[in-house]
Amino acid sequence: MVDKCLPCDIMAVDTHLPSSKEAFSLNKKVSLSDGEWKIMNCLWDHSPLTITELVNALKEETGWNKHTVIPTLTRLEAKTAVHYVRGVRAKLYYPSIDRADVVIEETKSFLAKVHGGRIGSMLSAMVDQEALSKEDIDELNSIINKAEKKHHGSKN
């Protein structure tokens, strides 16, 4: 997807990193829109990226141009989710938040909103809709076995 991108300009001449006040807010919960997720996933997988590289990476999937990517990056900067380093020719964008942290928060939010915070309710709905493959079931069994081992290990 991003492999078609031009090489990044890595010589930094200016940076836009979160200020100390913004850095403090990096620990806050960040909620991402669907479009913001697309940009963040590109950055998590391939940073640093320029605006042109983001447009090229997302164009086929989304049809976006720079007039969509730039405002989305601006919103992500306001949320302190991304920052940039100004290269010789273009800004190089980096994620400022960890994917794992955002995934956990989004998962908790989804579970709370849709299933009253209960994983069992979500899985029951998936089973009722026959939405789980054999591979999904095997993976869930493995996760449950791992959780049981951790739970029993912590009681000793």
User: Which CATH class name applies to 2-100?
Assistant: mainly alpha
Over residues 96-105, the pLDDT tens digits come to: 999 999 999 9
pLDDT at residue 68 greater than cutoff 60 = yes
pLDDT recorded at residue 28 = 63
For residue 152, the model assigns a pLDDT of 82
Q: What is the pLDDT of residues 44-65, one digit of tens each?
A: 999 999 999 999 999 999 999 9
Long-range contacts of 22-30 (CB under 8 A, 24+ apart): 22/80, 23/80, 25/80, 26/80, 26/96, 26/97, 28/80, 29/105, 30/79, 30/80, 30/81, 30/97, 30/102, 30/105
Mean pLDDT for the stretch of residues 115-136: 93
Domain ranges of the chain: 2-100
pLDDT score, position 23? 40
Beta bridge partners of 49: 93
Q: What is the pTM of this model?
A: 0.74
Structure tokens at 98: 């960890």
